[in-house]
Copies of this chain bind each other. A is one copy, B any other.
Amino acid sequence: MRVLEHPDVEEIHLEAVLHALADPMRLEIVRFLATTEDGAACSEIELAVTKSTGTHHYRVLREAGVINQVYRGTAKINSLRSTDLDTLFPGLLASVISAATRRSQR
């Protein structure tokens, strides 16, 4: 079973997290994952981009420490690293998700 590389908690940097979140597609992914209990497969999240562009966005989020990705069969299941991020940067993820959500509702 392939295992994808993730940064340890102490390897997660504020700048990398902010950079990962500074993109409309990646904000969409994060916002969707925040609504799920156990994460979601990439195929469940509709993005208006090609598959390879989508894969790139998930990788940026994973390498920054924003999401976990695990294989279930051939599908990658994505989930937010909410606990890690809340420990490192209290309130940050929640404020970004809520700002992105408010905008999408305007």
Contact = CB atoms under 8 A, between A and B. Distances in A.
A19 B15 CA distance: 9
Contact of A98 (B16, B90, B100): B90
A61 interface: no
B99 A14 contact: yes
Number of copies: 2
Contacts of A77: none
A94 interface: yes
Interface in A42-99: 88-92, 94-96, 98-99
A99 B21 CA distance: 16
Interface of A: 14-16, 18-19, 21-24, 27, 88-92, 94-96, 98-100, 103
